[in-house]
Every structure is written in structure tokens, then in C-alpha cells.
Structure 1
Amino acid sequence: MSEQVKIILEVAGVELVFEPTTTAYNKMVNETSMDNKVAPATNYLRRIVATESKEALEAFLKQPSAGMQIAAKVNERFTPELDIQVKN
């Protein structure tokens, strides 16, 4: 996947721009554990948000589960859907 990706979401009528990278995505996955999910998602969004969307993102991150929901939508678009089949 290309490192130059721009994803624009509209959240509650507010446009948020994200620029995810494989490095940032992998860091979030590596930081996520059974008892630590919210902080990695929130930190990930803060790493990849475009400058013009930082203030709006911070306002959303004050709401319960907003970070998880936004990160999920970004990653839906960023990560490829692979067709994987077991052959044995």
C-alpha cells in the first residue's frame, strides 16, 4: 500500500482529514492488547490527523468510544481486504 494516503471522514457534520501510514498503523496494532485498546487508537489518530483537523479531532476524542469508532473507519479504508483461501 502506498504511504501517500489521504482519508477524509465526515463525523457529525465535521470533516476530518487523516494521512495514515503503514508505520503508524503497525505501531497502533503493536501497542494494542487485551487491556489496552483505547489509548493506542487515540494515539494513532493523533499521529495521522492532518494539521487542519487536529482541533476538531480533539473535541471528538472527549466523547466515549469516539476514538475507537473513528480509527475503525480510517482503517476500513486504509487496510486492504484480501481474498485468502485455505488450500489444504
Structure 2
Amino acid sequence: MSDKEIKLIVAGKDITFAPNVTAYNKYINEITISNKVAPAHNFLVRIVTPETKEALEDILKLPGAALQVVSKVMDEYTPELEITVKN
């Protein structure tokens, strides 16, 4: 179940993602200091809509694409919270 769909145009191809909290948490938990590309790739493959999966697979063959795309998805998916320290 997606919280919302995120539609991007990447290298001229329409790609739609349907992120959800479960996939997001799994992605965050998989990231390590020495492992960022594989978790980004896996996250994108998990949340891409079936209709645009082939387009994503083509894009993910390009160097650095997974990190660039996941950055845009995260910008749209994660909220900006105002956090203040209270003394």
C-alpha cells in the first residue's frame, strides 16, 4: 500500500514510484557506511509501479543512477519536520 505516488521523468522516461513506510524502513535499515548503492537500487525496484518497471531497469544500468533517483524520491516522500530543542 502506497502513501502516495511519485512521478518522475528520468532521462526522458516516465517512472512512477509508490513508496510506503515498510519499504522505506527496510531501505534505511539496509544502508551502511560501505553499502549505499545496493539498498537504493533494491528500494527503487521494490516501489516502482509495474507499468514503469522496465524504464527503471534501463535507468538503473547507468552509473550513479540509483543514488540520484532515490534522492529525488526521498525529497518527495519524507516530510520536513520542524524540530526544536526545549530546555
Unaligned runs of 5+ in 2: none
Q: Name the CA distance, whole Å, in 1 between partners of 2:2 and 2:9.
A: 22
The equivalences for 1:1-88 within 5 A come to 3-88=2-87
> 1:50-78 deviations in whole A, cap 9, x for unaligned?
00111110011011110011011011101
Percentage of pairs with the same residue: 53
Count of residues paired in the alignment: 87
TM-score (norm 1): 0.94
What's the CA shift string for 1:16-68, capped at 9, x where partnerless?
00000000000000000000100000000000000011111001101111001
Runs of 4+ in structure 1 off by over 2 angstroms are none
The alpha-carbon deviation at position 87 of structure 1 amounts to 1.9
- C-alpha root-mean-square deviation of aligned residues, in Å? 1.2
- What displacement does 1:3 show? 3.9
